[in-house]
Structure 1
Amino acid sequence: MASIEEILAVERIDNDIYRGGSFPSQLRRTFGGQVAGQALVSATRTVDREYAVHSLHGYFLRPGKPDKPAVFMVDRIRDGRSFVTRRVTGVQDGEAIFSMSASFHITDDHGPDHQDAMPKVPDPDSLPDRRDTATESQKMLLAEWANFDIRIVDQSETARMPGLAAQQRVWFKYKNSLPDDHLLHVCTLAYMSDMTLLGSSMTVHPDARTQNASLDHAMWFLRPFRTDDWLLYDQTSPSAGGGRALTQGRIFDRSGRLVAAVTQEGLTRSVDSDSAASIMRQAQ
């Protein structure tokens, strides 16, 4: 398993053009968090360090090929005094696989400040390692994330919020220590934010067999954080239908600070048993 520093180390090949590395994978398509993370790093390479990324909005247009690098082309949409905007297109074999807009801001400490409270959950150290309880198909995906510690709160221990259709809570962190570079932690969280989120839509359909893929992904970075410390991913799925599911996530640090928010829509197309087995064979 490549380190997150290796995954995010995009190579400059020309002005505003970057290339992300390809890494051994058991998946039949490139993990969406990898594409989003590499695209965000490419955008940050064209922005002065005084500007911090505060949001991204991305669309997964085609499945990426894990055995091939992707090229990221950055368009400098706007350079303002307080805000900078970049558009990034990820390309493989001459076709766009990902499109993202990212906005950067010089943080202003003046203004109102409030946040939601972190829900009450078991301590992450009291929860079993996900790899000890995963199914064979889940173990395949977790093998892709061997450098991450992922602890899913059991549904029986999830405090139910009235009126919410589907809920899931996940503790996660990067296992190894990372440098004190906030930009690295931001791009790492962009990678991590695609983990487990679509799965929240299936917590109320445990026996459903579906073909799943991220379709679009939006993220807001609210406060400083570290991805090598525990983060709580409080996930909900307010709606599913028409072969798609909408999911949302709030990310808290261990002290209860709300550090990021995520919204994603994903494909959740029903498949029969034979189709599900075929999809698994292709993935392997």
Structure 2
Amino acid sequence: MGIPMEFIQMVRLDSGVFEGSNLWSPLPGYPAFGGQIAAQSLASAFSTVGEDSVPNTMSILFINKCKSDQKVKYTVKNLKNGSIVDMRQVDCYQNNVLVSSAHISFSKPDNNAHDYEGTPYRIYDDTFVPFAEYISKSLTNSSAGQAEVNAKFQVLYDNMLMMFNVLDVDVGTENKDMRQIRIKIKQRQEEVIGVASLITLISDILLVETALMASNLTLFSKDLSLLTSLNHVIHFVNLEKSINDGYIYYIVKCKGIRNSKAICEGQLIHEDGTLICLTGQQGVFRVKSSYSKK
């Protein structure tokens, strides 16, 4: 589909029907990355609208787990073709089981203008470390021995190479229930379908992780028994400004936790503060019965 990214490998099977492959799981043994399912869903919907269309909003429900070692099928349903907005529903199936269902709206560029008085959050002074170092530090803080830490790190690092081929990701310091992520694009995207799909992928990186910080947990904590996203919502604001040069920043925050359910939100912005998109997500996490918060 003209997007030179490992994450968005799509084949058209029929009108409005696509096959997605090369699915990725950020952690060994975990389901396929929800951000990739969302990005492939968006790319599928793009094929059914005009070439000059841009996405306004996307809301996706993650219904069943998706195995990363198997292909998926996307079916696109035309909900509305209007003079101002087009709407599509994209359902993702794996072995005839519904994995996710997305609703996406598109409009022409002239009808997609947003005026914001200011972004919800601003870039602040921070200390960033490469994602690989974030993994290493998280593992070192566990009670495992150094040999075990080294072995786990190598497995996790190798598993992350697919993301590292596309993005340079630096992780900021925990700031209570907030974190900054600094990202540099390694595979340039010029067409709006590539930009929007990559932004969708990025918008799921470490978003639900903010819910763990209040409980002194990380993605790699041995006490974590479950971490999953129930949904993902994106409001696209500015896709015209290039994301290829310099850094973009993803500021993520946990808004609250109740009964192991967390509400998280984020904003993706350029270095100069220009807002790219706003995101929201509900996640669920559980810890092992032996865990005690320190």
| Same fold at TM > 0.5 | yes
User: CA-to-partner distance for each residue in 1:226-259, whole Å, 9 max, x for gaps?
Assistant: 4444211111111111121110001111111011
- Partner of residue 44, structure 1: 46
Deviations 1:186-226 (A, max 9, x none): 11111111110001112221148331011100001101244
Match of 1:278 in 2: none
Q: 1:23: Cα distance to partner?
A: 4.3
What is residue 164 of structure 2 aligned with on the other side?
146
Shift of 1:113: 2.4
Q: Percent same amino acid among aligned pairs?
A: 19
Q: Could you tell me how far 1:273 is from its partner in structure 2?
A: 5.2
Q: CA shift at 1:111, angstroms?
A: 7.3
- 1:200 corresponding residue in structure 2: 210
Aligned residue among 261, 266, 269 for 1:249: 266
CA spacing shift, 1:37–1:4, aligned 2, 3 Å: farther
Is 2:270–2:276's contact at 8 Å kept on the other side of the alignment? Answer: yes
Partner of 1:272 in structure 2?
289
SS of 2:5's equivalent in the other structure is helix
Name 2:90's counterpart in structure 1.
88
Distance 1:47 1:109 in 2: 15
The residue type equivalent to 1:68 in the other structure is Q
Which of 226, 235, 238 in structure 2 is aligned with 1:220?
235
> How many residues are treated as equivalent by the alignment?
261
Change (3 A) 1:100 1:131: same
**Are the counterparts in 1 of residues 56 and 112 from structure 2 also a CA contact under 8 Å?**
no
Q: Which amino acid aligns with 1:251?
A: L
1:240 aligns with 2:250: no
Q: CA deviation at 1:34?
A: 1.1
CA–CA separation in structure 2 for the residues paired with 1:111 and 1:8: 27
User: Any conservation in 2 of the 1:122–1:153 contact (CA below 8 Å)?
Assistant: no
Secondary structure, in 3 states, of the residue corresponding to 1:18? strand
Match of 2:128 in 1: 127
Task: Give the structure 1 partner of residue 143 of structure 2.
Answer: none
Tell me which residue corresponds to 2:149.
none
Structure 2 gap segments, 5+ residues each: 140-151
Corresponding position: 1:19 with 2:49: no
Trace 1:164-179 onto structure 2 (pairs within 5 A): 166-174=177-185, 176-179=186-189
CA contact (8 A) 1:21 1:69 kept: yes
Q: Deviations over 1:95-143 (max 9, x none)?
A: 10010000001133797722424524247xx732121242346745644
Give the Å deviation of 1:4.
5.9
Cα contact 1:85–1:104 (8 A) shared by 2: yes
Gaps in structure 1 of 5+ consecutive residues:
159-164, 275-284
1:103 alignment partner in structure 2: 105
Cα deviation per residue 1:136-173 (whole Å; 9 max; x = unaligned)? 46745644522221112113xx4xxxxxx721111123
Equivalent-residue separation in structure 2 for 1:131 and 1:34 (angstroms): 20
TM-score normalized by structure 1? 0.83
Distance change (3 Å), C-alpha of 1:249 and 1:112: closer
Aligned residue type for 1:204: A
Structure 1 counterpart of 2:198, from 183, 188, 198: 188
Structure 2 CA distance for partners of 1:132 and 1:99, relative to 1, 3 Å: same
What is the TM-score when the length of structure 2 is the normalising length? 0.80
Distance 2:206 2:243 in 1: 16
**Residues 153 and 40 from structure 1, CA distance in 2 versus in 1: closer, same or farther, beyond 3 angstroms?**
same
The change in CA–CA distance for 1:129 and 1:6 in structure 2 (over 3 A counts) is: closer
